[in-house]
Amino acid sequence: MELWIEALVKDKKGKVLKRVKRKAHSFVGNFIRCLAVQFASGKETITDIGGNTVNPYAYSQSFKCNACSGDNGLGIVVGTGTNAVSISDTALQTKIAHGTGSGQLQYGAVTFGATACDASKCECTITRDFANGSGGDITVNELGLIIHMYEGTVKGILVARDVVSGGIAVANGQTLTVNYKIRATA
């Protein structure tokens, strides 16, 4: 299994100004723990994005990341942190808040592309737009993917985190589009 990231900065007319595309190095330990819960219907000790220890169990609402506009606790999230990725990461170092204030980005809804398969691979793409209406430039240094797991209530679990070397500058009025592509290869 592979994870790929693509980040596009677009102007107000949708013209792509910058593109970053590379294989991600970002599945964190919580990803495997969440898989183990789903595969074995067993309990795993997992730390959620709030730093709380939880013991989720297999449930139909688990592994969802279909966040609505404005929801920065689920789906693809972005931040300004620059710490190296660690297998033990459970949250972004410095998540950017949703909004139009200084240092904030407007989180769009998470969307999903159709699953695409051929003779050698099968993949799905998770996408989210982040509009900068803050009045200033914002540099995005980290990307993450938060899913839901269930422990009597829904818990947000970070399963992937990437740090982009040099960051991605998003000027006021521009939009950052982030794609996470999960790929299985033969």
Domain count, the chain: 1
Position 185 scores a pLDDT of: 84
Cα 144 to Cα 105: distance, rounded to the nearest angstrom = 15
**For residue 41, pLDDT beyond 70:** no
pTM score, two decimals?
0.91
Cα 160 to Cα 91: distance, rounded to the nearest angstrom = 9
How are the residues of the chain apportioned to helix, strand and coil, as percentages rounded to the nearest 5? 5, 50, 45
Position 60 scores a pLDDT of: 64
The per-type count for the chain, helices as H runs and strands as E runs, is: 1, 12
Averaged pLDDT for residues 75-92: 96
Q: What is the pLDDT of residues 103-155, one digit of tens each?
A: 999 999 999 988 889 999 899 999 999 999 999 999 999 999 999 988 888 89
Instruction: Please give the residue range of the domain that contains residue 87.
Output: 2-184
Residue 50 β-bridge partners = none
Position 175 scores a pLDDT of: 98
